[in-house]
Amino acid sequence: MATTTDIEAAVFRRLLAHLDANKDVQNIDLMNLAGFCRNCLAKWYVAAAQEAGESIDLDGARERVYGEPYGDWKAKYQREASPEQLAAFDTKKPS
């Protein structure tokens, strides 16, 4: 029988697979629509590992989230943010 942790882990893996299948969705789009992005997930991964007494650095967590080294992913898929995306991002920033 699956535990809550097993289910949550499966959901996380499915989220990562969904993001991987939708590389056209930029991090700034995620930030503007949902308030988090792939980098946020990587930072949360590092924090959760630390809370569990494990050690992973941000680069390792990013590789887990992006499915490859962050620099490689960024070079292949990240586009320059449009003025509209940047303006939307700026309006959501806390004062």
Kindly tell me if the per-residue pLDDT of 16 is higher than 90: yes
Which residues constitute the domain of residue 36? 4-92
Give the whole-angstrom CA distance, residue 56 versus residue 59. 8
The CATH number of whichever domain residue 9 belongs to comes to 1.10.3340.10
pLDDT of residue 2: 80
Count of the separate structural domains present in the chain: 1
pLDDT confidence bin for 1, thresholds 50/70/90: confident
Q: Token digits for 7?
A: 């289910």
The tens digit of pLDDT for each residue in 32-63 reads 999 999 999 999 999 999 999 999 999 999 99
DSSP secondary structure of 34-64: HS--HHHHHHHHHHHHHHTT----HHHHHHH
Average pLDDT over residues 81-90: 95
pLDDT of residue 95: 60
Average pLDDT over residues 19-44: 96
Give the whole-angstrom CA distance, residue 29 versus residue 92. 12
